[in-house]
Amino acid sequence: MTNVASMIEPTLQDVYDAQSRIEGHILRTPLRNYPVLSELLDADVWVKHENFQLLGAFKVRGGINLVSQTSQEERDRGFVTASSGNHGQSIAYAARAFGAKCTVVLPEGANTAKAASIAALGADVVFHGNVFERSKEHAEMIAERDGMRFVHAANESALIAGVGTYSIEIHEDLKDIDVLISPVGAGSGASGSCIVTDSLSPSTHVIGVQAASAPAAYHAWKSGEIEIFPMATIAEGLATESAYELPIGILRKRLTEFALVDDAAISSAIKHYVHATRTLVEHAGAASLAAAINMKESLKGKRVVLVASGGNITTDQLKAVLN
């Protein structure tokens, strides 16, 4: 369903071009140092606050970059995508900004805050399937039936270039970074980080992190084989049964290391964020801190950037974490 041009690996120039396109549509998010986190990890720890981004997540960068480049004919047909939540928000927001209709297919039981936001942005929300992959299949069927432009959550060069802009901001704001840790769900954010960091700060190690109970991308990164892995993580932003060709190809070439963290460690990291930064980070966004805590010894004395990729945690999820 995704066209061949969408599967071309973006370049650093593509990311800079995206930065120019999305300026005025998104926020430049802060990169902040926290003494409490630095003490916790015995390192110089900085947080890239994409949880402060419009719609509460980094994905909006990719949505604007993609939709802004589409033809009027594509916008007239409208866009359909599948998402666990944040990607759906990004396409709904971008479609509204450029006067196009949008349908977002979510898994049944999706994050209620994200679903409400997508609907408020004017998109049609469809619930289908118990996991993201079933939602994706249904979105592809809608695209075929109604002639809409299907937007894949990962196999889209423009999405990766768009979300790569947060890594340009990181390297513009801070030098001599030893380690950059990025959550991996579908893989667009970590892919963008790798492309940018390889060029702007090649000595920086980019580490991806995924939920241990949703390890499809991790296994694909290790083996080169894309297979289905059952998943049961509470981190819906990391909840994919499969890896995807474009981002996993980038990660296999460029990612330094790939870590797995369990759900308990992710929940604990959310509490650390509340204590140390007074901010809310959703489960997927907290995975980078969870990984850093697990690998504390190897990070000792280093300058570390943690990507807090999103803040869309529901009140029920937060209560469960705090209790």
Per run of 10 residues, the mean pLDDT along the chain (length 323 residues) is 75 98 97 98 98 97 98 97 95 98 95 94 96 94 97 97 98 98 96 98 98 96 94 91 96 98 98 98 98 98 98 95 93
pLDDT at 28: 98
Domain count, the chain: 2
In this structure, the dihedral spanned by the alpha carbons of residues 236, 63, 228 and 245, taken in order and rounded to 10 degrees, is: -150
Last-in-domain residue among 140, 155, 170: 155
Co-location of 182 and 303 in the same domain: yes
Q: Is 168 exposed, middle or buried (0-12, 13-18, 19+ CB in 10 A)?
A: buried
Does one domain contain both 76 and 39? no
Q: Are residues 220 and 299 in the same domain?
A: yes
- Specify whether 21 is located in the same domain as 77: no
Q: Which domain does 239 fall in, by range?
A: 4-58+158-322
CA–CA separation, 83 and 247 (whole Å): 16
